[in-house]
Amino acid sequence: MSASDNKLKQLLEPVVEALGCELWGMDLQTGGKTKLLRIYIDRDKTGVDIHDCERVSRQASAILDVEDVIRGEYVLEVSSPGVDRPLYELDQYARYLGEEISLRLRFPYEGRRNYKGRLKAVEGDEIVVVVTENEFLFPVEGIEKANLVPQF
């Protein structure tokens, strides 16, 4: 997590929690003409609805405008993590042990960056993923993006 991501989290987490939600994660995309900050929120048992997203969006927008953490113009999106929820923190991985995940590594391992398999364990700051009968141990810091794979 970069310093600006840490600052964003420190600013937004108390706001989201005060509104009865959990800050699941954030993605800040800075490529292109317009920056995009996507905030994922969740709520135990009931999940979030459009009203939660609207309330968080209004409050987050006000805080971000005052603190001026994101330089220049940006678009703010607030949503549920969805069924293919992204995974950011070790405790989030731990909540979904036994589930299928897909992940993209920051750097290739054994000649590839993309893996899909069953999340078997969290060990320290690493996760264990079973991919076609083979176990792989990946440090979370080395994961660029990870998502649950929806099961229908």
Domain presence at residue 36: yes
Domain presence at residue 108: yes
Tell me the average pLDDT of the chain.
Answer: 91
Q: Is residue 60 located within the same domain as residue 94?
A: no
For residue 10, is pLDDT > 70? yes
Answer whether 12's CB lies under 8 Å from 57's CB: no
- pLDDT for the residue 2: 58
Domain presence at residue 85: no
Q: Is residue 100 located within the same domain as residue 68?
A: no
Q: Is residue 8 located within the same domain as residue 67?
A: yes
> Token digits for 90?
């070790």
Q: Is residue 67 located within the same domain as residue 121?
A: no
Beta strand 74-79 with 35-42 is parallel
CB neighbours of residue 110 within 10 Å: 7
Q: Is residue 31 located within the same domain as residue 63?
A: yes
Query: What is the band of 44 on the pLDDT scale with cuts at 50, 70, 90?
Result: confident
Query: What is the band of 62 on the pLDDT scale with cuts at 50, 70, 90?
Result: very high
- pLDDT for the residue 46: 81
Q: Is residue 56 located within the same domain as residue 104?
A: no
Overall domain count for the chain: 2
Residue 58's domain is classified under what CATH number? 3.30.300.70
pLDDT in tens, 79-111: 999 999 999 999 999 999 999 999 999 999 999
- pLDDT for the residue 68: 82
Q: Is residue 10 located within the same domain as residue 71?
A: yes
- pLDDT for the residue 109: 92
What residues make up the domain containing 28? 3-79
Which whole number is the average pLDDT over 127-147?
95
Query: What is the band of 4 on the pLDDT scale with cuts at 50, 70, 90?
Result: low
Q: Is residue 73 located within the same domain as residue 103?
A: no
- Read off the DSSP letter of residue 87: -
Domain presence at residue 125: yes
CB neighbours of residue 113 within 10 Å: 13
Rounded to the nearest 10 degrees, the angle between the axes of helix 3-18 and helix 50-67 is 130
For residue 1, is pLDDT > 60? no
Q: Is residue 72 located within the same domain as residue 98?
A: no
Domain presence at residue 133: yes
Residue 95's domain is classified under what CATH number? 2.30.30.100
